Amino acid sequence: MDGNTRRAGAVADLRRCRHAAAAARLVMQHTTHTLLAGDQAAAFAAEMGLPLGSLETEESRGMHSMWLNQRCQPNFRQQVAPDPRQSCGPYRPLPSSTSTSTSTSSAGDSASGSGGSSSGSAAAAQQGQQQQHARWPTAHAHDTIAMVVVAGGSVAAGASSNGAIHKVPGRVGDAAVPGGGAYADSAVGGCGATGDGDTHLSFLPCYQVVESMRRGLSPQQAAEDAVRRMAQRAPGYTGAVVAVGFDGRHGGAAHGWERTGGQFTYSVASGGSGGRVEVVAVPPLDDL
């Protein structure tokens, strides 16, 4: 994202192209669109001169084989049959999860008229609760790289991610959505995020961080406010944001990393430090 023009470029569900960030920048520079996806995004990348090829490795093939042998665990599906904790599918929605009704029934109605539905609803609720905390991300298994750069009065931000391991095919995470994984405004600053990208898509924390700094919060305060909101509303959330002001001040906030045996850190380098990289350790928020 270019903080001067507020223009952004992104690719999602990108196939056969390892240069995802470069492809995203080409979308910003050479189209009036913001987001391209799937095979068409790969075709655009090739048209712009980026190489395509297989991204499979012996390691990735082995990981996939192991996942299949472990009955496709971990698994991000919920409220489906067969039980995604035990089966690789194919799946179908549980009966109770197909209803879009928002009406409220009395206890008598439920008992007399929807015994099967109530049972299905209970199963769906239990399955959904157990699937909610899929084993992702962890301190040692997350792959979003976000960066904010301040130079010559301009701010730019970007994010790149391979996405949650063993995700449902077609899933798009926060790295490809402006305001989710990254955001920039040269008049204010920028933000980068990592962690639970699906929660980030519900809250757009990087957009919020930049707008909070616009209202006068420091980068540290803005980062803590964004993470606190997500942690309070999304049980089991694991993630972090880094905020950078247009003047180079920075701060970060994180939640949930300690549960997975680690601590969130981010790196800072500047001309003032001669390019020396400082690693900043971020303590977990403890006042939720």
User: Is 251 annotated as contributing to ligand binding?
Assistant: no
User: Is 173 annotated as contributing to ligand binding?
Assistant: yes
Contacts of 32 (CB under 8 A, 6+ apart): none
Q: Which of 34, 98, 100, 144 is catalytic?
A: 144
Q: Rounded CA gap, 245 and 135, in Å?
A: 33
- What would the pLDDT profile of 127-169 be if each residue is shown by its tens digit? 444 444 455 666 566 678 999 999 999 999 999 998 888 999 9
Residues 257, 284: contact at Cβ < 8 Å?
A: yes
User: Which letter does DSSP use for residue 285 in this model?
Assistant: P
Q: Rounded CA gap, 72 and 112, in Å?
A: 38
* 162-56-14-144 Cα dihedral, nearest 10 degrees: 10
Domain boundaries, the chain: 60-92, 137-281
Half-sphere exposure of 99 (CA within 13 A, CB side): 11
In sequence order, what are the beta bridge partners of 203? none
- What would the pLDDT profile of 9-49 be if each residue is shown by its tens digit? 999 999 999 999 999 999 999 999 999 999 999 999 999 99
pLDDT band at 105 (very low <50, low <70, confident <90, very high): very low
Reply yes or no on whether the pLDDT at 101 is more than 80.
Answer: no
Report the pLDDT value the prediction gives residue 129, as an integer from 0 to 100.
Answer: 46
Higher pLDDT, 102 or 267: 267
User: Is 174 annotated as contributing to ligand binding?
Assistant: yes
User: Is 32 annotated as contributing to ligand binding?
Assistant: no
Report the pLDDT value the prediction gives residue 133, as an integer from 0 to 100.
Answer: 46
Mean pLDDT for 91-120 is: 48
Q: Rounded CA gap, 31 and 8, in Å?
A: 10
Report the pLDDT value the prediction gives residue 135, as an integer from 0 to 100.
Answer: 56
Residues 199, 230: contact at Cβ < 8 Å?
A: yes
Q: Rounded CA gap, 159 and 40, in Å?
A: 20
Cα dist from 139 to 43, 49, 144, 251, whole Å: 34, 35, 12, 19
Q: Rounded CA gap, 239 and 237, in Å?
A: 7
Angle between helices 20-30 and 38-47 (to 10 degrees): 80
Report the pLDDT value the prediction gives residue 272, as an integer from 0 to 100.
Answer: 81
Reply yes or no on whether the pLDDT at 125 is more than 60.
Answer: no
User: Is 116 annotated as contributing to ligand binding?
Assistant: no
User: Is 197 annotated as contributing to ligand binding?
Assistant: yes
Q: Is 144 a catalytic residue?
A: yes
Provide CATH code, domain 137-281: 3.60.20.30
Reply yes or no on whether the pLDDT at 108 is more than 50.
Answer: no
Residues 149, 156: contact at Cβ < 8 Å?
A: yes
Reply yes or no on whether the pLDDT at 121 is more than 60.
Answer: no
Cα dist from 77 to 118, 164, 167, 202, 244, whole Å: 21, 13, 9, 18, 36
Reply yes or no on whether the pLDDT at 116 is more than 60.
Answer: no
* Range of lowest pLDDT (72-86, 108-122, 188-202, 270-284): 108-122
Q: Rounded CA gap, 210 and 188, in Å?
A: 7
Mean pLDDT for 186-205 is: 97
Query: Token match 């039980």: residue?
Result: 83
Report the pLDDT value the prediction gives residue 142, as an integer from 0 to 100.
Answer: 60
Q: What percent of the chain has pLDDT over 70?
A: 83
Report the pLDDT value the prediction gives residue 31, as an integer from 0 to 100.
Answer: 98
User: Is 199 annotated as contributing to ligand binding?
Assistant: no
Task: Give the type of residue at 9.
Answer: G
Reply yes or no on whether the pLDDT at 226 is more than 50.
Answer: yes
Report the pLDDT value the prediction gives residue 139, as an integer from 0 to 100.
Answer: 58
Report the pLDDT value the prediction gives residue 141, as an integer from 0 to 100.
Answer: 61
Residues 1, 157: contact at Cβ < 8 Å?
A: yes
